Amino acid sequence: MSLFEVYTDGACTNNQGEGLQPGGWAAVFVDGPALSGGESATTNNRMEMRAVIEALKNTPPHSHVRIYSDSAYVINCFNQKWIDKWEKNGWMTSSKKPVENKDLWLEMRQLEKERQVEWIKVKGHSGNQWNEMADTLAVAAIPKDKNNDDQSRKEICLYLTQDEKINLLSFLDCNQLNLNDVLKNVLVKLQKLE
Amino acid sequence: MSLFEVYTDGACTNNQGEGLQPGGWAAVFVDGPALSGGESATTNNRMEMRAVIEALKNTPPHSHVRIYSDSAYVINCFNQKWIDKWEKNGWMTSSKKPVENKDLWLEMRQLEKERQVEWIKVKGHSGNQWNEMADTLAVAAIPKDKNNDDQSRKEICLYLTQDEKINLLSFLDCNQLNLNDVLKNVLVKLQKLE
RNA sequence: CGACACCCCCUAGC
DNA sequence: GCTAGGGGGTGTCG
């Protein structure tokens, strides 16, 4: 069974601490391509989660995936079985408040069930090249255009190498955004261009 | 008959678990004003009760009132007829101890008899905007001035909007603190100032 | 024993 | 600021 190792990271501005901020995420496949995207109104934790979701989405079901993240929020949720408890107790935290970001947790849970996932905590900014790259891409993906009318628009870029990136938006007409499918499309398109 | 919907909440510090503590309460009228106040030596349950009492006091007799509270202590007292039993058995709990806070229960009972009251239990901290506002105001109303000589002094503020508040103390000379009366006084005073 | 609140700490990571 | 885990306690009732 194929193994995928993915470094994920999220980033979010935090200017005056008031309300939702613009943020970005990235998922870097070891010895492979990288995905990144941004949202104009989100939180740091939602971006960490989004990075993982996109990573999982782009691996085939039943594959073996190693998710490397510096977010204790995400890693502990699975390694310390928080999510098992939430599913049993109606999504309440230990202090009886509703769990935040339930929508994204459910999405992650579904993807995680269909795969064999290992959750690995890494220290942030510790010189690991993949983690650094994820960090760089996530920050770069934060939307800077404050005049953007579409507040919920997401962008996804495919990095073939660190310098060579392709905006996937042009391939989004293929309803299912699976990395393999997109890669095929990209290759076909490139061949036609040559 | 007019309907009033009011979210009530109480808050109380609990520093070293020793004796009575400062606390606050709030009553938020849906699509209306909000009242809040504090006491320097009280309990959490007395604050929950005080919030309800002030809510009822500020609705006209014979009106239809919906009280929303996260306190099972208060809601069950009426919905599970605890108070009926207490009135019949000389205010003794099921474990034969005297019922606590009888003074406030009597006050609530009197106000409740003069109105048609529905008691509705809500979950604390569950994202309801009115419940959240009551919580915020109750916490904000906790007296912080520890050098206050008058330990029993109560303060009552009228919030016209979340940001705009009027201290009602200056209107307390009108013996009965009814919201409508006070509002009239406030308006008269404001008109004179202009 | 159960329930609902009200708190005080501590920890972890972004 | 965003989020979670864990421990301790009182106020009160059935």
Q: Containing H/E element for A69?
A: strand A64-69
Q: Does B19 touch chain A (CB under 8 A)?
A: no
Q: Does A93 touch chain B (CB under 8 A)?
A: no
**Considering only CA atoms, which residue is closest to the C1' of nucleotide C13?**
A72
Beta-carbon separation of B124 and A98 below 8 A: no
Least confident residue range of A179-188, B39-48, B131-140, B166-175: B166-175
Mind listing the pLDDT tens digit for each residue in B62-89? Answer: 999 999 999 999 999 999 999 999 999 9
Q: Indicate which residue of A24, A38, A39, A48 is catalytic.
A: A48
Report the pLDDT value the prediction gives residue A52, as an integer from 0 to 100.
96
Report the pLDDT value the prediction gives residue A153, as an integer from 0 to 100.
47
Domains by residue range for chain B, with CATH: 3-141 (3.30.420.10), 162-192 (no CATH)
Portion of chain A with pLDDT greater than 90, in percent: 36
Task: Decide if pLDDT at A96 tops 90.
Answer: no
Report the pLDDT value the prediction gives residue B125, as an integer from 0 to 100.
83
* DSSP category for residue B21: E
Q: Give the tokens for residue A35.
A: 């995905």
Strand order in the sheet with A21-29: A116-121, A64-69, A3-12, A21-29, A34-42, A157-159, A165-167
Q: How far is the CA of B73 from the C1' of C3 (A)?
A: 9
Report the pLDDT value the prediction gives residue A176, as an integer from 0 to 100.
47
Mind listing the pLDDT tens digit for each residue in A23-67? Answer: 999 999 887 788 888 888 899 999 999 999 999 998 999 999 999
Report the pLDDT value the prediction gives residue B162, as an integer from 0 to 100.
55
Residues from chain B contacting residue A96 (CB–CB below 8 Å):
124-125
Mind listing the pLDDT tens digit for each residue in B87-135? Answer: 999 999 999 999 999 999 999 999 999 999 999 999 888 778 888 889 9
Dihedral angle computed from the Cα positions of residues A89, A94, A99 and A105, in that order, rounded to the nearest 10 degrees: -70
Residue in this structure with the two tokens 């309801």, named with its chain if needed = B128
Stretch A167-180: mean pLDDT: 51
CB A102 within 8 A of CB A41: no
Report the pLDDT value the prediction gives residue B33, as an integer from 0 to 100.
81
Sign of CA dihedral A73, A78, A82, A88: positive
Active site residue B19: no
Q: How far apart are CA A8 and CA A25, in angstroms?
A: 8
Report the pLDDT value the prediction gives residue B63, as an integer from 0 to 100.
94
Q: How far apart are CA A170 and CA B173, in angstroms?
A: 72
Active site residue A70: yes
DSSP states of B24-60 as a string?
A: EEEEEETTS-EEEEEEEEE-HHHHHHHHHHHHHHTS-
- pTM for this prediction: 0.76
Q: How far apart are CA A49 and CA A92, in angstroms?
A: 19
Q: Indicate which residue of B9, B39, B54, B112 is catalytic.
A: B9
How far CA A13 is from CA of A42, A54, A138, A140, in Å, comes to: 9, 21, 11, 12
- Quote the mean pLDDT of chain B: 82
Report the pLDDT value the prediction gives residue A68, as an integer from 0 to 100.
95
Task: Compute the residue count for chain B.
Answer: 194
Q: How far apart, in Å, do the first and last CA atoms of chain B sit?
A: 35
Residues contacting residue A103 through CB under 8 Å, at least 6 positions apart: none
Binding-face residues of B in 114-153 toward A, CB within 8 A:
124-127
Q: What 3-state DSSP class applies to A34?
A: strand
Active site residue B17: no
DSSP states of A72-121 as a string?
A: HHHHHHHHT-HHHHHHHHTSB-TTSPBPTTHHHHHHHHHHHHTSEEEEEE
Q: How far apart are CA A88 and CA A82, in angstroms?
A: 10
Q: Containing H/E element for A42?
A: strand A34-42
CA angle A77, A83, A87 (to 5 degrees): 170
ipTM score assigned to the predicted complex:
0.71
Dihedral angle computed from the Cα positions of residues A122, A62, A59 and A83, in that order, rounded to the nearest 10 degrees: -50
Active site residue A17: no
Beta-carbon separation of A98 and B125 below 8 A: yes
CB A105 within 8 A of CB A83: yes
Report the pLDDT value the prediction gives residue A173, as an integer from 0 to 100.
44
Q: Which of A81-85, A163-167, B178-182 has the highest mean pLDDT?
A: A81-85
How far apart are the CA of A96 and the nearest CA of chain B, in angstroms?
Answer: 8
Report the pLDDT value the prediction gives residue A4, as an integer from 0 to 100.
92
